[in-house]
Structure 1
Amino acid sequence: MDLEKKVFILEEYFNEEREINLNQYTHIRAYHACRPLSVQDYFAKGIEPISCERALEEALIRLKSEGLNKDKIKGQFKIAWKDLNEIHKKVWLIIHKELLLTKSGHYLIYGSEFLNALAMELGYRDSLKQVGIPTIFHCDIPIKNLACSEISYIEEGIELGREFGYDISISVDTVPPQYIVDYEHPNRKIPDPYYYGVKYKPDYKELKNLGI
């Protein structure tokens, strides 16, 4: 056990008036939302950045449907991957968990942004709801792993968040398994950003029957 570990957790800071100095902490709690096929894979491998090979493999697994063959998926995949910016190939996390349940629910409902966009182009986005299990991973990211500019960005975002909301995300190259401290499967209705007024509530029993 690391007795010197000191984690900044945004939710514990809400009622404090002092300015934040992240250099007083060793880690920052951040959250990653997704629909993994296997939660245990994340504890074995960590949260890895998207790669062409793995993304194609996931696309072929998640977009199984009548009328959608592998060649069509692969063809659209090549176009989408070519257009994907390097910044989107990193691992993204957010420090205010509630936003993943209220403003950015698409990660829990549909999974990765890349596969979400790919499925939309193919006309099969809703099929993503049938594969994987909605999961939020709780991660303690070492402050020393963040650039000074990113630390300043987070601190400024926290100060502004008192008035404008804590929409603060961070990107890392990878999240090793030892940084994952907990996870949860949300059991509440999540607003679907693609269907106004519609909320998605995971049916974990049904997902289990589908083979998650």
Structure 2
Amino acid sequence: MAAIVWKDPTSWMGMIDAALGGRLACAAGPRIKLADTEDWYLDDSEWVELLAHCLDEDADGLVDDLAERLSSQTLRVYHGCRPVDLDSYRKHGIRVLDCAAIIAQTREWLEADPGNDDLLPLLSGMTERVDPATREGHVYFGLDDRFLVEHCGHYLIYGSEFLTAGLGRQRQVLTTRGRPTIIEVDVPIDRLAPTLQDELTKLLLRDWARIAAWDEVRTYPQDFGFSLRYDVPPSWIVGFTHPPWVPDPLDQRRVRVFD
């Protein structure tokens, strides 16, 4: 089953139209071009209202209908990290954060390198200094790898956000291991929370309308991040990419270049 890839509208515009019985292309498409949308914002919620109006339907009903129909599809999402070994992901998938486990692994690494053993005291009490509430038991994804690189590069440059925050000014040691990596994952939409499915549906309807109105078959980098509270199986992983450069949001967006 082909996944919905947000940055590639050709992967989902026809799918959405087909899910709604061809009503968008036949009815909404021609009518929406007549609306005065020249000054509308990309993320204007009125796009969905306009689309529903062109179909003579209620906007909430349109969202609910499409959300239900999309629940059998998969969605391409992206996880930023700095792994030493990709084989672990191929074998075990992506696991939710276990703070105690990652501290233990980091301690083992630092103890094996005498040049970094002065950092060991920073690992003590890390969970007291860095609130694990929004991290422990979560694994985070973004809908758009372009946004991930441009605005969330610390995941790629340093790896674990928990460790990055815990090491503070000493975080540069994290750049000495691993390689900036984006893991591409196809998540079954029915495994997303219902509220997240609704938000995704609104986003797709919004941009379907904008693309139809402006005759511009492209999307723009989108801030659409979320977490899953379960391990991601290796069968969902479809690829790995390594960005050649990443702006560092923790260092005045200085661009870091990688081999």
Query: The TM-score by the shorter chain falls in which range?
Result: 0.7 to 0.9
- The 3 A distance-change label for structure 1 pair 89 and 62 is farther
Assess if the C-alpha contact under 8 Å between 1:47 and 1:175 holds in 2. yes
Q: Which amino acid aligns with 1:181?
A: V
- The 3 A distance-change label for structure 1 pair 197 and 30 is closer
Deviations 1:13-54 (A, max 9, x none): 289596784533510000001001211100101000011332
Q: Which amino acid aligns with 2:176?
A: Q
**Per-residue deviation, 1:69:** 4.8
Counterpart for residue 53 of structure 1: 100
Query: Structure 1 stretches of 5 or more lacking a match?
Result: 204-212
Q: Which structure 2 residues correspond to residues 96-107 of structure 1 after superposition, within 5 A?
A: 96-107=144-155
Counterpart for residue 156 of structure 1: 202
Query: Structure 2 stretches of 5 or more lacking a match?
Result: 18-23, 25-47, 49-62, 211-218
Q: Which amino acid aligns with 2:235?
A: Q
Distance (whole Å) between structure 2 residues aligned to residue 181 and residue 73 of structure 1: 36
- The 3 A distance-change label for structure 1 pair 13 and 130 is same
Counterpart for residue 170 of structure 2: 124
Assess if the C-alpha contact under 8 Å between 1:35 and 1:107 holds in 2. yes
- The 3 A distance-change label for structure 1 pair 61 and 114 is same
Deviations 1:64-114 (A, max 9, x none): 5446253x1332324246x21055531110011101111111111011110
Q: Which amino acid aligns with 1:176?
A: P
Are positions 1:193 and 2:193 aligned together?
no
Distance (whole Å) between structure 1 residues aligned to residue 173 and residue 206 of structure 2: 38
Q: Which amino acid aligns with 1:177?
A: P
Are positions 1:40 and 2:87 aligned together?
yes
Q: How many residues align?
A: 194
Distance (whole Å) between structure 2 residues aligned to residue 164 and residue 28 of structure 1: 17
Bigger CA drift: 5-14 or 170-179? 5-14
Assess if the C-alpha contact under 8 Å between 2:99 and 2:132 holds in 1. no
Distance (whole Å) between structure 2 residues aligned to residue 195 and residue 69 of structure 1: 21
Bigger CA drift: 90-99 or 17-26? 17-26
Counterpart for residue 180 of structure 2: 134
